[in-house]
């Protein structure tokens, strides 16, 4: 029996596709701002929202969205006023949110409070067609906002003081980012659960930043990785009968470890290659200079010397002059450079 033969799995895969795409697109700004745990804090606040929804018999998605956005705006205002540190404000929000949620849910009539688990750890297969519609709406709004304001959000996340000095609306942009995080939290609630939300925002960015060279590349790669782990994790959970949230997060962590070790391996072989090339130079030693006969080649902020077709970059170390191999240039360097 195929995966796509079930309506609930179709909806589940659709939901995980949206979450996989949206969560990293917002999360990368949190990583840049070194505020990775904001998503967790807002997830806890969303639980209070869920509880209010259950108690008042309104849709928990909407009440969670309202609670998370209120929490997001509150934390930015506290940070901007500067009386309490962002760290402490976040902690208060964390515990207040989850305590409020647990207490309120316990007041609910018997039978309803039992689905606390599905909010904490995700219950993707219970996604209703209405949920899918709401998620699609949230996804479009979040992705549009990031596309429209991405560069400003990057500017504020990268160097808040500079952004303020040149007159970008720092507080406004911070509130917008926090509201985007809150929306993403609510979107991810069903798929990975409130306790694991940050994982899908942070892990794809953490993997992407190991591989990418630019911020733009990082965002696109993070979204790609997010979709990959989210959809494949959901599919895997169908066959293994494990919870979707935990499966997705474990997949993402496995990928993170894999990429980290691949990058480490690449760097160490590059260092070994570097040492071998240094040996090449040591085999016929002299100090490069204007009179050594090797053509000088300006390279960025220093001068390389063309040494039998490979470029030597001298730099001073504690033990004298050391030569780096700055390859990549053809044998004959352009004479006018």
Partner 1 sequence: MSERPPAIRLRGATIGYGDVPIVRDVDLTVGSGEAVAVLGSNGSGKTTLSRGLLGLATVLDGEVQVLGAPVGRLRERGRVGYVPQRHSISGAVPATVREVAGVGRLARLGLFRRLGATDRRAVVDAVAAVGLADRLDDPVAALSGGQQRRVLVARALAAEPELLIMDEPTAGVDAASQEALADTLAAISASGTTLVVVTHESAPLAGVLTRAVVVDHGRIAYDGPLSGAAHHDEHLHHHPPERQPAGYRMDQPTVTSGPRTTADRER
Which residue number, 85 or 112, has a Cβ lying nearer to partner 1? 85
Which residue number, 145 or 234, has a Cβ lying nearer to partner 1? 145
81: Cα within 13 Å, side-chain hemisphere: 9
Q: Of 103, 133, 140, 148, which one interacts with partner 1 (CB under 8 A)? A: 148
| x-or-dash string of contact with partner 1, 73-102, rule CB under 8 A | ------------x-x---------------
For residue 206, give Cα distances in angstroms to 180, 199, 243: 19, 10, 23
Strands of the sheet with 310-317, listed across from one edge: 296-299, 302-307, 310-317, 320-325
Q: Of 205, 237, 244, 247, which one interacts with partner 1 (CB under 8 A)? A: 205
Which residue number, 155 or 278, has a Cβ lying nearer to partner 1? 155
Contacts of 242 (CB under 8 A, 6+ apart): 236
Q: Provide, rounded to whole angstroms, the least separation between the CB of residue 48 and partner 1.
A: 27
Cα separation, 239 vs 158, in Å, equals 42
- Assign 1 to helix, strand or coil: coil
Which residue number, 124 or 177, has a Cβ lying nearer to partner 1? 177
Cα separation, 224 vs 219, in Å, equals 9
- Contacts with partner 1 in 21-50 (CB under 8 A)? 28, 31-32, 34
Which residue number, 195 or 297, has a Cβ lying nearer to partner 1? 297
Beta-bridge partner residues of 296: 305
Contacts of 307 (CB under 8 A, 6+ apart): 281, 288, 294
Q: Which of 84, 80, 88 is nearest to 37 (CA)?
A: 88
Beta-bridge partner residues of 303: 298
For residue 240, give Cα distances in angstroms to 20, 105, 118, 123, 191: 20, 31, 18, 15, 16
Which residue number, 137 or 298, has a Cβ lying nearer to partner 1? 298
Which residue number, 36 or 59, has a Cβ lying nearer to partner 1? 36
| x-or-dash string of contact with partner 1, 265-304, rule CB under 8 A | -----------------------------------xx---
Instruction: Express the helix, strand and coil content of the chain in percent, nearest 5 each.
Output: 70, 5, 20
Q: Given the rule CB under 8 A, which of 105-113, 188-196, 216-224, 253-261 is the region that contacts partner 1?
A: 216-224
Structural tokens at position 238 = 């169908």
Q: Of 77, 108, 118, 152, which one interacts with partner 1 (CB under 8 A)? A: 152
Q: Of 128, 162, 274, 327, which one interacts with partner 1 (CB under 8 A)? A: 162
Which residue number, 183 or 218, has a Cβ lying nearer to partner 1? 218
Q: Of 3, 165, 254, 321, which one interacts with partner 1 (CB under 8 A)? A: 165
Report the interface residues with partner 1, using CB under 8 A.
28, 31-32, 34, 85, 87, 148-149, 151-152, 154-155, 157-159, 161-169, 205, 209, 212-218, 300-301
């Amino acid at each position: 029996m195929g995966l796509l033969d079930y309506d609930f799995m179709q909806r589940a895969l659709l939901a995980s596709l949206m979450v996989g795409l949206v969560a990293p697109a917002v999360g990368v700004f949190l990583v840049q701002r070194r505020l990775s745990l904001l998503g967790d804090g807002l997830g806890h606040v969303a639980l209070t929202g869920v509880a209010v929804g259950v108690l008042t018999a309104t849709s928990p998605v909407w009440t969670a969205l309202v609670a998370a956005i209120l929490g997001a705006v509150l934390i930015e205002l506290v940070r901007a006023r500067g009386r309490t540190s962002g760290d402490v404000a976040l902690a208060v929000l964390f515990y207040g949110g989850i305590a409020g949620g647990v207490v309120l849910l316990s007041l609910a009539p018997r039978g309803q409070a039992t689905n606390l688990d599905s909010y904490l750890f995700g219950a993707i297969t219970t996604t209703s067609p209405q949920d899918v519609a709401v998620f699609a709406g949230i996804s479009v709004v979040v992705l549009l906002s990031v596309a429209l304001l991405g560069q400003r959000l990057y500017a504020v996340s990268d160097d808040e003081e500079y952004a303020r000095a040149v007159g970008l609306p720092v507080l406004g942009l911070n509130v917008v980012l926090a509201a985007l995080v809150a929306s993403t939290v609510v979107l991810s609630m069903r798929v990975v659960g409130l306790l694991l939300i940050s994982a899908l925002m942070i892990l794809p960015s953490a993997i992407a930043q190991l591989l990418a060279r630019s911020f733009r590349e990082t965002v696109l790669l993070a979204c790609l990785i997010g979709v990959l782990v989210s959809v494949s994790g959901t599919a895997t959970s169908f066959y293994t009968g494990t919870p979707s949230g935990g499966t997705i997060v474990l997949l993402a962590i496995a990928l993170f470890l894999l990429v980290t070790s691949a990058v480490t391996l690449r760097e160490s072989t590059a260092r070994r290659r570097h040492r071998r090339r240094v040996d090449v130079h040591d085999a016929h030693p002299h100090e490069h200079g204007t009179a050594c006969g090797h053509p000088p080649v300006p390279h960025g902020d220093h001068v390389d010397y063309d040494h039998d077709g490979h470029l030597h970059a001298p730099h001073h170390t504690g033990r004298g002059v050391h030569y780096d191999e700055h390859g990549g240039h053809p044998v004959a360097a352009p004479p006018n450079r």
